[in-house]
Structure 1
Amino acid sequence: MPLPRFHRLADDRQGHILDVARGHFARHGPGAASYNKIIESAGVSKTAAYQYFDGKDDLLATVLDGVRDRLLAALGPWEPAASGPAFRARLEGGSRALLAHLHKHPEDLALADLAIGRSDEAQWLGWFEAVVGNGQALGLIRTDIDRSLLVAATAAVLRAADAWTLARLRSGDGQHAEQGADQAWLLLAALWSDGSDGNDGRETRDAH
């Protein structure tokens, strides 16, 4: 966490320092990014920098917390659905909102996995916990697998699908990018089905 003196800076000054740091970490990676170059680019003296943060790791943690918070804000809270079609529509709506944010903010995309994987990931996984709980209540998601594992796997599938779609958008392959939601749904249907219907999740996929 930032040291108290950082919080006494004006909001725009705090934002500038974190924006500069996020750019360096996104471009060079957390390991290769230079703390000295970050603070120089932000216009912060070495003396002041160590009054704001304990060091590079502390600055990185603050940046990643900001990325995580923006991703959660883009998703918005999960509102329980009352039917299969509504469940799918809400899931796809959240995915589109997150994808739009990552498309607009490529630095957040570069750091998203690190931000989500931080030790305090309850805020992020809470959204997927709500999704899985709602789907299980509707009979759309299997209940024979440990809930925490299913939640983590669901989050991983959706993150991978969003990254896949963004890669195609950046390459100009808009036609295939538009298939991202359907591709994600196929993967989730296979993950969520216990195969008891004998069709490997086709009924789940056709619930719309």
Structure 2
Amino acid sequence: MPLPRFDRLPAGRQEQILAVARRQFAEHGAQSASYNRIIEAAGFSKSAAYHYFDGRQDLLRAVLDGVLGRLLDALGPWTGASDEAQFWSRLDAGAAALASHLLNHPDDLALADAAVAHAREDGRWLGWFDALVSNGQELGVIRTDVDRELLVAATAAVVRTADAWALARAKTSPEPAGPLPEESGAQLWALLRGLWSETGPFLGGAGGSTGAR
């Protein structure tokens, strides 16, 4: 995390530094971007940089924390649904909001996978999906015959992969950035029905519907 001196900088200056770093990491890769180039673009010397960050990895962690925070803000907290229709509606809204954010924030999109991997250290990302799976199991939407930790991780991976697929398709569309087409949501729900059904892929079945979707 940033050193105390960074926190004492004006908020606008903090955001400027992190925005420059985010752009460099997004353009050149989380593990490839030059620390010296980031420092130069941010407008301070290497010696000054060590007053704010304990090296390149510390700066990268700060950037990824910011990306993750915005992804979770886009999803919003998972609020338990009272029935299956409400469950699917809330999941639909969260997935669409996340995809829309990524579509309109290319730096966050480029760093999303790195931010999610970074989040595994403190559980914030999987915590959202753990709440979702718990609620779905209570409603009988999600199977209970598979290890919970595995099911949470698989659900998170399906949603992230489906978003990446939908965004790749959206980039080739002549339409301006906006809500993703219904087809993308339908593909995600089909994948989740197969994953969550007790007759689905873990038991070798064909994958049945959980109901409303």
Per the TM superposition, whether the score is higher than 0.5 is yes
- Kept in 1, the 8 Å contact 2:197–2:209? The answer is no
Q: Which residue of 2 is the match for residue 195 of structure 1?
A: 199
- Deviation string 1:125-156 (CA, Å, 9 cap, x unpaired) is 11101110111011111111111110010000
Cα distance between partner residues in 1 of 2:198 and 2:129: 19
TM-score, reference length from structure 1: 0.93
Q: Which residue of 2 is the match for residue 35 of structure 1?
A: 35
RMSD after superposition = 1.7
Cα distance between partner residues in 2 of 1:45 and 1:35: 11
Q: Secondary structure at the match of 1:17?
A: helix
Q: Which residue of 2 is the match for residue 168 of structure 1?
A: 169
Cα distance between partner residues in 1 of 2:95 and 2:139: 20
- Deviation string 1:23-50 (CA, Å, 9 cap, x unpaired) is 0001100222100100100111111101
Instruction: Using the TM superposition, give the Cα deviation of residue 122 of structure 1 relative to its aligned residue in structure 2, in angstroms.
Output: 1.2
Q: Secondary structure at the match of 1:203?
A: coil
TM-score, reference length from structure 2: 0.91
Instruction: Extract structure 1 runs of 4+ deviating beyond 2 A.
Output: 198-203
- Kept in 2, the 8 Å contact 1:80–1:134? The answer is yes
Instruction: Using the TM superposition, give the Cα deviation of residue 20 of structure 1 relative to its aligned residue in structure 2, in angstroms.
Output: 0.4
Q: Which residue of 2 is the match for residue 127 of structure 1?
A: 128
Q: Which residue of 2 is the match for residue 185 of structure 1?
A: 189
Instruction: Using the TM superposition, give the Cα deviation of residue 120 of structure 1 relative to its aligned residue in structure 2, in angstroms.
Output: 2.3
Instruction: Using the TM superposition, give the Cα deviation of residue 106 of structure 1 relative to its aligned residue in structure 2, in angstroms.
Output: 0.9
Instruction: Using the TM superposition, give the Cα deviation of residue 178 of structure 1 relative to its aligned residue in structure 2, in angstroms.
Output: 3.4
Q: Secondary structure at the match of 2:165?
A: helix
Cα distance between partner residues in 2 of 1:165 and 1:55: 36
Cα distance between partner residues in 1 of 2:95 and 2:44: 38
Q: Which residue of 2 is the match for residue 8 of structure 1?
A: 8
Cα distance between partner residues in 1 of 2:83 and 2:122: 29
Q: Secondary structure at the match of 1:80?
A: coil
Unaligned stretches of 5+ in structure 2?
none
**Is 1:207 the counterpart of 2:208 in the alignment?**
no
Cα distance between partner residues in 2 of 1:41 and 1:60: 15
Q: Which residue of 1 is the match for residue 79 of structure 2?
A: 79
Look up the equivalent residue of 2:212 and give its one-letter code: A
Q: Which residue of 2 is the match for residue 67 of structure 1?
A: 67
- Kept in 1, the 8 Å contact 2:194–2:209? The answer is no
Q: Which residue of 1 is the match for residue 145 of structure 2?
A: 144
Cα distance between partner residues in 2 of 1:9 and 1:116: 27
Aligned length: 205
